Amino acid sequence: MQKAQQAAARAVRSVLSGHNLDSALGLQLRTPDLTDQERSAIRAYSYGTLRHLGLLRYMLDKLVTRKPKDPGVIPLLLVALYQLEYGKAPHYAVVDHAVKSVNSLAGPALKPFANAVLRQYLRRREELLRSARRDDVARLSYPRWWIEKLRSQLGAQADHILELGNLHPPMTLRVNRRRIDPGKYLSMLEQQQIAAKAIGPSAILLQVPLAVERLPGFEEGLVSVQDAGAQQSAPLLDLQPGQSVVDACAAPGGKAGHALELADVRLTALDRDSERLARVSDNLRRLGLRARLQCADAAQLESWWDGSPVDRVLLDAPCSASGVVRRHPDVKWLRREDDVAGFARQQSRLLDALWRVVAGGGKLLYVTCSVFREENQDQVERFLSSHADALLVSRHASSGGDLLLPSEEHDGFFHALFEKS
């Protein structure tokens, strides 16, 4: 436990210093002498601490009057508090290992401090929790600006959406219908005693997440891991054989793969990050699908577009990721309120550029994994007001596109389909 505590604390400290959790965890998990159990614990402690950071910080602030000079002690205490509040290990073991970790990190002088803080938490837990319920940042574990923005935009639904964001995400599979019928794949899962249910035309929700190595036929391309909300994107394009399609921000390739599973189209997958583009290649290879891959900024048309009009464009735009915080809890603490406006400017740039490549009668699908209006409905209104040849094709009566709020079965997404007159 001690080794996992220390590695998780380093990952949390890295995130609080401005780095994303994937890169922070990557550094910690590359240590060669870790067991699988330790790697799993490091992930669990890191993700859990960041999911509930608002509450953990609140309690620690109540317990600590003067913070220690060593900056590594506070993240370690946050991880230990997460274990005590949400973990299953005996409290005495968590405290004992945390005190030893502080000793190895900062020396024996801070051992009594760490021991006193954690034992005081155990004595005062109920009092601290009652107090935390009166503080929105502590109760909901989001920055105050995020809470206020969602409440102003979603009203009574906001707190429920925020609470969902602190749960473990669902694991959903997309069945490759070119290779197997979803019903037959469900039977394969049942034979392996893997509990699951169908929740969409190609979507299967697992009752308990598991490693992809345990999924029957995964390496053979029978299924991919893709959220049920994300699986709604490719079908909206109404793809027909022979059409030209551009996936403008393709990595890691989930929507590109889905599009190619639906129809024999000529697909170009763009991404400006060569390493992420390699993941698109790997995913398509596993599925037995082919596309033209090009490393380019989709908004710089001269770097990739030959001038031929395109039948369909899929723009899965860079965004705040506010709809997928269950999967990326670091996002809550890395984003700043003015970042949302920055993403909106980037999205506008991409939309305006990519509209030029769409053929007459063609369609562009704008997608985000955000629940913030500035990146969604406001983008649609701006785009329609500046492009007279754009018609919004909506599945619902709303003129602002389709906002899919997070639920127990899927993440949050926004879709807006435009047709060119």
Mean pLDDT over 180-188 rounds to 96
* Domain's final residue, options 85, 114, 140: 140
Q: What is the pLDDT of residue 36?
A: 87
Domain match, 134 and 241 both: no
pLDDT at 39 over 60: yes
Residues 92, 119: Cα–Cα separation, whole Å: 9
Residues 28, 43: Cα–Cα separation, whole Å: 10
> Which residue in this structure is represented by tokens 């209104």?
381
Query: Which residues face 419 on adjacent strands?
Result: 363, 391
Domain match, 238 and 134 both: no
Copy the structure tokens of residue 304.
Answer: 């990739």
Tell me the C-alpha to C-alpha distance, in Å, between residue 172 and each of 148, 200, 227, 411. Answer: 31, 10, 5, 11
Q: What is the pLDDT of residue 62?
A: 94
Q: Which residues contact 80 (CB under 8 A, 6 or more apart)?
A: 5, 94, 95, 98, 114, 118
Q: Does 152 fall in a domain?
A: no
**Residue 34 confidence class, pLDDT cut points 50, 70, 90:** confident
Give backbone dihedrals phi and psi of 295, rounded to 5 degrees, phi first: -85, 110
pLDDT at 396 over 90: no
Q: Does 178 fall in a domain?
A: no
User: Residue 335 maps to which CATH number?
Assistant: 3.40.50.150
- pLDDT tens for 206-251 read 999 999 999 999 999 999 999 999 999 999 999 999 999 999 999 9
Q: Is the dihedral of CA 382, 388, 393, 397 positive or negative?
A: positive
Tell me the C-alpha to C-alpha distance, in Å, between residue 23 and each of 20, 29, 37, 176, 348. Answer: 6, 10, 20, 30, 28
Query: Which residues face 7 on adjacent strands?
Result: none
Q: Does 89 fall in a domain?
A: yes
pLDDT over 90, % of the chain: 88
Q: What is the pLDDT of residue 154?
A: 95
Domain match, 267 and 388 both: yes
Q: Does 349 fall in a domain?
A: yes
Q: Which of 224, 201, 374, 240 is closest to 289 using CA atoms?
A: 224
- pLDDT tens for 95-143 read 999 999 988 887 888 888 899 999 999 999 999 999 999 999 999 999 9
Q: What is the pLDDT of residue 372?
A: 97
Q: Name all contacts of 10-14 with Cβ < 8 Å and 24+ positions apart.
A: 10/72, 10/75, 11/42, 11/46, 12/46, 12/49, 12/50, 12/75, 12/78, 12/79, 13/71, 13/72, 13/75
> Which residue in this structure is represented by tokens 């990326």?
328
Domain match, 16 and 121 both: yes
Residues 265, 290: Cα–Cα separation, whole Å: 10
Q: Does 222 fall in a domain?
A: no
- Mean of the per-residue pLDDT values for the chain? 94
pTM of the prediction?
A: 0.92
Total tally of structural domains belonging to the chain? 2
Mean pLDDT over 349-377 rounds to 97
> Which three-class secondary structure state does DSSP give residue 71?
coil
Copy the structure tokens of residue 338.
Answer: 């003015």
* Domain's final residue, options 122, 140, 158: 140
196-198: strand order across its sheet: 196-198, 203-206, 171-175, 223-225
User: Residue 127 maps to which CATH number?
Assistant: 1.10.940.10
Q: What is the pLDDT of residue 109?
A: 84
Copy the structure tokens of residue 17.
Answer: 């210093």
Q: Which of 54, 61, 53, 66 is closest to 11 using CA atoms?
A: 53
Mean pLDDT over 268-288 rounds to 94
Length of the chain: 421
Range of the domain at 32: 2-140
State the Cα angle at 71 between 70 and 77, rounded to 5°: 95
Q: Does 177 fall in a domain?
A: no
In this structure, the dihedral spanned by the alpha carbons of residues 75, 143, 252 and 177, taken in order and rounded to 10 degrees, is 120
Q: How many CA atoms lie within 13 A of 414 on its CB side?
A: 27
Mean pLDDT over 354-365 rounds to 97
* Domain's final residue, options 106, 140, 174: 140
Residues 217, 202: Cα–Cα separation, whole Å: 15
Q: Does 158 fall in a domain?
A: no
pLDDT at 398 over 70: no
Q: What is the pLDDT of residue 395?
A: 64
Q: Does 154 fall in a domain?
A: no
Q: Which of 258, 260, 252 is closest to 291 using CA atoms?
A: 260
Instruction: Look up 369 and say whether it is catalytic.
Output: yes
Domain match, 240 and 127 both: no
